[in-house]
């Protein structure tokens, strides 16, 4: 419960979100475990209403589509987990489809608004501060769409033209859930207290999927599986706390990264899952690692004179083999790779022939995963050939990689995998003496964007802008006048 986030004077206690109910953890004299489980219980009640078909929109129809409006940690974590665990969707529930809209340009949201019935669409407005412009711009558009469509029955042929008018207040109450650390701002926006889910200032956005920000996850996989996700993460927390250093997985992974960055001077890191369900895992780790450890100032406020977080990116391994593995094997930029794969898959497929074919494909994926790490390590020596090879066919080898194997991809093992990387980030932050829990590098851009928008809208002085920015704004003005 100590205030380890020194620049914001806050604790960092996302691990508390996955503590069992009988645990005890005090923050400044208050046991927070009870409040955590109260919030999960409230989330479970909302999930049960939606899964039972009891949550109805303003016209009385049950909700069929839930759109999560969030960005960063309010989007990437839930998006990644719902995709990875889609196989665990309960079969005996009212069908509710979960979607995600994060981009401030509205392109994702516009697609949903063109296809969904407003009577059966619910929006989850997820924002820790409830001031994030990306999310609020989408939320305001969604609210106006709902009010415009539902208060005018012309576009809703199934609603009688003599039906009682629907108020904007009722529409917002029945079609929005808020998830935030700021209940006052949720209420001010119009979200009823019964539909507000809380989390706390001591939970960083990129660490928040374990609590009420995980509502979309619970809607997809059910609360029982959601609790398995938490249990898997807690198991890794216990391992990190108790295991000796030489057997401690987060410590070993973190130290390998320190060696690669600070001793081998490798500045790039690729995440390569060999399972299509982990399609968004690399994008999730991009935020987790680079927003946490992409720092150049120590916890004491001094500039560092050593490298910290490398550039991290990735793709599904089988697809990346046909995209950027050329650079990994023969480029001039050294890259460290993490390969991730489950050992078992498709045991639940009922048709024997289909199961046999799918298991063969899984073995093919594993063979490629193991082969790529071998070639990175050995290069040309992986082949038993006589005589030298021409230079354009040479593989230098001696390139580091780690392979993380799961028994199966389940809610529990995914929870452990995510927590493994969370703790690895913390290990490296301790060694680099940086704060992994703030993100001041994202603030100035948002401030300048607000000033720039005022100028674009004709409410600011373009004369104070630099020549490059003036040119961009003037190009936009010219395009609007055509």
Per-residue pLDDT of the chain (482 residues; tens, 9 = 90+): 778 888 887 888 999 999 999 999 988 888 999 999 999 999 999 999 999 999 999 999 999 999 999 999 999 999 999 999 999 999 999 999 999 999 999 999 999 999 999 999 999 999 999 999 999 999 999 999 999 999 875 456 555 554 567 999 999 999 999 999 999 999 999 999 999 999 898 999 999 999 999 999 999 999 999 999 999 999 999 999 999 999 999 999 999 999 999 999 999 999 999 999 999 999 999 999 999 999 999 999 999 999 999 999 999 999 999 999 999 999 999 999 999 999 999 999 999 999 999 999 999 999 999 999 999 999 999 988 777 888 999 999 999 999 999 999 999 999 999 999 999 999 999 999 999 999 999 999 999 999 999 999 999 899 999 999 999 999 999 999 98
Both 35 and 165 in one domain: the answer is yes
Residues forming a β-bridge with 271: 314, 338
Both 293 and 432 in one domain: the answer is yes
Reduced to 3 states, what is the DSSP secondary structure of residue 318? helix
Active site amino acids: 291, 322, 446
Both 328 and 396 in one domain: the answer is yes
The dihedral through the CA atoms of 292, 293, 295, 301 has a sign that is: positive
Residues forming a β-bridge with 79: none
Q: How far is CA 17 from the centre of its chain?
A: 16
Cα 343 to Cα 366: distance, rounded to the nearest angstrom: 8
Please report the pLDDT score of residue 156 as a whole number.
60
Both 363 and 296 in one domain: the answer is yes
Q: Supply the CATH number for residue 194's domain.
A: 3.40.50.10490
**Is residue 224 included in any domain, yes or no?**
no
Sorted by sequence, the CB contacts under 8 Å of residue 410 that are 6+ apart come out as 85, 88, 228, 232
Cα 122 to Cα 177: distance, rounded to the nearest angstrom: 8
Reduced to 3 states, what is the DSSP secondary structure of residue 464? helix
Asked whether the beta carbons of 77 and 283 are under 8 A apart, the reply is no
Both 198 and 161 in one domain: the answer is yes
Please report the pLDDT score of residue 384 as a whole number.
82
Asked whether the beta carbons of 413 and 345 are under 8 A apart, the reply is no
Both 473 and 393 in one domain: the answer is no
Length of the chain (residues): 482
Q: From 185, 218, 251, give the residue that closes a domain.
A: 218
**Is residue 223 included in any domain, yes or no?**
no
How many domains does one find in the chain?
Answer: 3
Both 163 and 255 in one domain: the answer is no
Q: Which tokens hold the place of 402?
A: 């780690």
Give me the domain span that covers residue 81.
14-218
Q: Which tokens hold the place of 101?
A: 């809209």
How far, in Å, are 12, 106, 374 from residue 256 at the CA level? Answer: 24, 41, 18
Q: Which tokens hold the place of 481?
A: 């006048």
**Is residue 112 included in any domain, yes or no?**
yes
Sorted by sequence, the CB contacts under 8 Å of residue 83 that are 6+ apart come out as 277, 279, 280
Both 167 and 248 in one domain: the answer is no
Please report the pLDDT score of residue 162 as a whole number.
47
Please report the pLDDT score of residue 26 as a whole number.
86
**Is residue 225 included in any domain, yes or no?**
no
Going by their DSSP bridges, the two strands 97-101 and 65-69 should be labelled as parallel
Both 194 and 263 in one domain: the answer is no
**Is residue 50 included in any domain, yes or no?**
yes
**Is residue 234 included in any domain, yes or no?**
no
Both 256 and 376 in one domain: the answer is yes
Reduced to 3 states, what is the DSSP secondary structure of residue 349? coil
How far, in Å, are 424, 436, 437 from residue 251 at the CA level? Answer: 6, 16, 18
Cα 212 to Cα 315: distance, rounded to the nearest angstrom: 28
Own/partner pairs, 79-83, CB within 8 angstroms, 24+ separation:
79/216, 79/280, 79/284, 80/278, 80/280, 80/281, 80/283, 80/284, 81/209, 81/214, 81/217, 81/229, 81/414, 81/418, 82/216, 82/217, 82/220, 82/221, 83/277, 83/279, 83/280
Both 156 and 265 in one domain: the answer is no
Q: How far is CA 250 from the centre of its chain?
A: 20
DSSP labels, 103-169:
-TT-HHHHHHHHHS-GGGEEEEEE-SSS--HHHHHHHHHHHHHHHHHHS-GGG-TTS-TTSPPPPHH
**Is residue 6 included in any domain, yes or no?**
no
**Is residue 4 included in any domain, yes or no?**
no
Cα 196 to Cα 181: distance, rounded to the nearest angstrom: 10
Cα 476 to Cα 452: distance, rounded to the nearest angstrom: 12
What is the pTM assigned to this prediction? 0.94
Q: Which tokens hold the place of 377?
A: 């390590």
Asked whether the beta carbons of 269 and 310 are under 8 A apart, the reply is yes
Residues forming a β-bridge with 401: 337
Sorted by sequence, the CB contacts under 8 Å of residue 233 that are 6+ apart come out as 15, 18, 210, 415, 416, 418, 419
Asked whether the beta carbons of 401 and 336 are under 8 A apart, the reply is yes
Both 424 and 461 in one domain: the answer is no
> In the block, which residue shows the tokens 């507000």?
196
Reduced to 3 states, what is the DSSP secondary structure of residue 196? strand
Reduced to 3 states, what is the DSSP secondary structure of residue 252? helix
């Amino acid at each position: 419960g100590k205030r380890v986030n020194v620049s914001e004077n806050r604790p960092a206690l996302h691990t508390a979100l996955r503590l069992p109910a009988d645990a005890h953890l005090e923050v400044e004299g208050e046991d927070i475990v009870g409040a955590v489980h109260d919030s999960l219980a409230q989330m479970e009640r909302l999930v049960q209403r939606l899964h039972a078909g009891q949550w109805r929109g303003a016209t009385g129809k049950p909700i069929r589509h839930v759109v999560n409006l969030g960005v960063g940690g309010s989007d990437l974590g839930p998006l990644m987990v719902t995709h990875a665990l889609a196989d665990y969707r309960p079969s005996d529930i009212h069908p509710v489809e979960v979607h995600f809209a994060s981009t401030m340009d509205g392109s994702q949201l516009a697609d949903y608004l063109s296809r969904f019935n407003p009577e059966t669409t619910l929006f989850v407005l997820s924002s820790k501060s409830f001031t994030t412009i990306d999310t609020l711009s989408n939320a305001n558009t969604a609210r106006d769409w709902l009010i415009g469509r539902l208060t005018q029955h012309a576009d809703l042929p199934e609603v009688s033209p003599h039906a009682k008018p629907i108020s904007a207040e009722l529409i917002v109450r029945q079609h929005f859930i808020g998830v935030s650390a700021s209940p006052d701002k949720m209420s001010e926006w119009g979200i009823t207290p019964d539909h507000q889910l809380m989390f706390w200032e001591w939970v960083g956005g990129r660490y928040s999927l374990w609590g009420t920000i995980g509502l979309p996850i619970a809607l997809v996989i059910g609360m029982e599986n959601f609790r398995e996700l938490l249990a898997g993460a807690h198991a890794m927390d216990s391992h990190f706390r108790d295991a000796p250093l030489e057997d401690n997985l987060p410590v070993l992974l973190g130290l390998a990264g320190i060696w690669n960055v600070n001793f081998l001077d490798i500045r790039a890191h690729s995440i390569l899952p060999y399972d299509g369900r982990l399609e968004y895992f690399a994008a999730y780790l991009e935020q987790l690692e680079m927003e946490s450890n992409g720092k150049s100032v120590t916890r004491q406020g001094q500039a560092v004179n050593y490298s910290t977080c490398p550039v991290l990116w990735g793709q599904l391994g089988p697809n990346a083999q046909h995209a950027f593995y050329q650079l990994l094997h023969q480029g001039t930029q050294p890259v460290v790779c993490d390969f991730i794969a489950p050992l078992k898959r498709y045991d639940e497929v009922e048709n024997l022939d289909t199961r046999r074919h799918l298991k063969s494909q899984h073995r093919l994926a594993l063979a490629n995963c193991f082969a790529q790490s071998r070639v990175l390590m050995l290069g040309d020596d992986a082949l038993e050939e006589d005589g030298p090879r021409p230079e354009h066919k040479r593989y230098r080898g001696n390139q580091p990689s780690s392979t993380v194997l799961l028994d199966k991809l389940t809610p529990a093992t995914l929870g452990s995998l995510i927590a493994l990387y969370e703790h690895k980030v913390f290990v490296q932050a301790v060694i680099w003496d940086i704060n992994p829990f703030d993100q001041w590098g994202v603030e100035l851009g948002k401030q300048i964007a607000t000033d720039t928008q005022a100028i674009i809208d004709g409410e600011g002085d373009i004369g104070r802008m630099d020549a490059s920015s003036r040119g961009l704004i003037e190009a936009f003005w010219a395009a609007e006048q055509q």
